[in-house]
Amino acid sequence: MEQLDFITKLLGIEDKNIKIDNLFDASTHKEVLAHLDYDAPPCPACKGQMA
């Protein structure tokens, strides 16, 4: 758990609703997979429609 706290602080993630699923350590980079624990509301400008 300490590692996940370090990663969220390093990336500047302050939203407690973002949950880190998995970490991948490649030789040239690290990959973080995460998701929101709720469905995000649609954009008020486009009402969720893609342009």
User: Which whole number is the average pLDDT over 9-27?
Assistant: 84
The reported pLDDT for the residue numbered 21 is 87
* H-helix segments, the chain: 2-11
**What would the pLDDT profile of 40-51 be if each residue is shown by its tens digit?**
888 888 877 765
- Max CA pair span of the chain: 41
- Model confidence pTM above 0.85: no
Asked if pLDDT for residue 5 goes beyond 70, the answer is yes
* pLDDT greater than 70 at residue 37: yes
Q: How far is CA 44 from CA 17, 25, 26, 41, 47, in A?
A: 20, 37, 38, 8, 5
Cα 23–5–13 angle (5° rounding)? 85
- What pLDDT was estimated at residue 1? 59
Residue 45: strand, helix, or coil:
coil
Averaged over 17-42, what is the pLDDT?
Answer: 86
Q: Name the residue ranges covered by the structural domains of the chain.
A: 1-51
